[in-house]
Structure 1
């Protein structure tokens, strides 16, 4: 009976856990870049550079990963598909580093829109990063960007 009910609600899409860690991370970075409804060249360059650095990719490989994640992210109903993969595959330290990367993408335009703040507040617990650690990650990014001073 339970299997019948599960099959009723199952879509014909690929299973939800079918994304790799790299795609999940790229999808969240793209989501962060689009949170304010503007995905400009600076944000795109930041996402591509982060993907290169995080996964030791060439620029062509980062672009391929970006494009794959972009297509999947735009079709996703929510972020849980991606955050679940990240939460299960990354250590706490890696997840905090990911929060820094997400904050970097959000802040690359030197503005914080309410939608960006809301996304970051929602993503932190989904990837098992506390509010304190997320705020500290944001401050480190701002310091590197010269917004807070040393």
Structure 2
């Protein structure tokens, strides 16, 4: 009877890890994919492929990393904080490659979405990319569409 009146509180969830470059990239990829409020299997698969290729992970390891990144994206700092981590830990050329990867996630579902493009521009700007490099990444992605 008391259990129904005073149910036990669920234990606190496992604390999220401190973001590093790997987690920041994954969280930003998830953020781009979710910008249109539709998180599709094609986008999830593209994120897993990017994480696997970028960090040399096996498919299951990439999926686990993505799951952590999804939780981090929901509960952690905003785009500028993730971008700062990447600016501090990743050189400019690699950040340009990240922009290409993010575009591939945004277009993985076969649709262009204004919300995803706005999110991408915010991330690319926060990553410190030049206007020319931002435009080049966009053009390259749209040519492949």
Displacement of 1:135 after TM fit?
A: 1.8
Runs of 4+ in 1 over 4 A off after TM superposition: none
Contact 2:124 2:134 in 1 (8 A): yes
Contact 2:40 2:109 in 1 (8 A): no
Q: Residue in 1 aligned with 2:67? A: 67
Displacement of 1:121 after TM fit?
A: 1.5
> In the TM superposition, what are the counterparts of 1:48-67 in structure 2 within 5 Å?
48-67=48-67
Contact 2:103 2:138 in 1 (8 A): yes
Contact 1:26 1:69 in 2 (8 A): yes
Query: Aligned-pair RMSD on alpha carbons?
Result: 1.8
CA distance in 1, matches of 2:121, 2:93: 18
Gaps of 5+ in 2: 1-14
Displacement of 1:103 after TM fit?
A: 0.5
Q: TM-score, normalised by structure 2?
A: 0.83
CA distance in 2, matches of 1:131, 1:31: 21
Of the structure 1 ranges 131-140 and 50-59, higher mean CA displacement relative to structure 2 is found in: 131-140
Contact 1:124 1:131 in 2 (8 A): no
Displacement of 1:79 after TM fit?
A: 1.3
Q: Residue in 1 aligned with 2:43? A: 43
CA distance in 2, matches of 1:90, 1:47: 19
Larger gyration radius, structure 1 or structure 2: 2
Displacement of 1:55 after TM fit?
A: 0.6
Q: Residue in 2 aligned with 1:106? A: 106
Q: TM-score, normalised by structure 1?
A: 0.81
CA distance in 2, matches of 1:141, 1:118: 15
Displacement of 1:139 after TM fit?
A: 2.1
**Deviations for 1:110-138, whole angstroms, at most 9, x for unmatched residues?**
32211111111211121111222122112
